[in-house]
Amino acid sequence: GAPINASNIDSLSQHFPLCMKNLHSTLRQNSHLKHFGRLQYTFFLKGIGLSLEDCLIFWRHSFKLITDDTFNKEYKYNIRHAYGDVGGDANRRGRGYSPYSCQKILTEHPPGPGEAHGCPYRHFSIDNLTSMLQATGVNERDVLKGVKEDVEKKRYHIACNRVFEWAHKGEIKKVKDDGTWEAAELDTIVHPNAYFKRSYLLRN
């Protein structure tokens, strides 16, 4: 599969859960993301194994409308900080911060107008959620209906797992039939980075 580096993020985004696809496409549309979106996305990118150097290149290239000077002054420090390269207590230094779990994304800092962080299953209207799913290729009526029911019951991560299982049904069947994956490796996903990792491994 595609190596994890700054120039492959567009292609790697096929493995992202909807929360991170939304951040990625908003970043591509606006050449910018607001504060909490940058945090959620930077920690996730760190979690998929993107190096600090590549993460800095990725953000610098993505923020097309600002100068190097502005980037260095206003954004670079926070990215280095997320990776534990600067600041923080001794504990965090060299390690940085953990990527956000679904639990954290679902419960903290709900997105306001113009913000793209959060979880689309929880924070989008059902119409916007359905449109976004369809735009990412999820077009089977039963799946969309299942998602709607999950969301109505506030089982947001179940909706996300439903979409994962549908989108990877061929690969999942194969590893089950071949016995190459333990059942535990197909447990319910409760972390965006687990979603990425499983998709990346299944498709490579």
129 is a contact residue toward ligand SF4 (CB under 6 A): no
Q: What is the DSSP string of 58-121?
A: HHHHH-TTS-HHHHHHHTHHHHHHHTTSSSS-TTTTTT--PPPPHHHHHHSS---TT---S-HH
Count CA atoms closer than 13 A to 151's CA, side-chain side.
20
Q: How far apart are CA 121 and CA 123, in angstroms?
A: 6
> How many Å apart are CA 198 and CA 76, to the nearest integer?
30
Cα angle: 78, vertex 79, 83; to 5 degrees: 110
Report the residue from 46, 117, 157, 168 that binds ligand SF4 according to the rule CB under 6 A.
157
Question: Residue from 9, 12, 19, 45 that binds ligand SF4 (CB under 6 A)?
Answer: 19
Q: Does 133 bind ligand SF4 (CB under 6 A)?
A: no
Report whether 102 contacts 119 (CB < 8 A): yes
Size of the site for ligand SF4 (CB under 6 A): 13
Task: Report the residue number, 47 or 120, with the smaller CB distance to ligand SF4.
Answer: 120
Give the residue from 55, 62, 95 showing the smallest Cα distance to 76: 55
| 116 touching ligand SF4, by CB under 6 A | no
Site for ligand SF4 in 163-192 (CB under 6 A): 192
Binding of ligand SF4 by 23 (CB under 6 A):
no
Binding mask 60-99 for ligand SF4 (x = CB under 6 A): ----------------------------------------
Selected binder of ligand SF4 within 6, 9, 18, 50 (CB under 6 A): 18
**Residues of this chain that bind ligand SF4 (CB under 6 A):** 17-19, 102, 105, 119-121, 156-157, 160, 192, 195
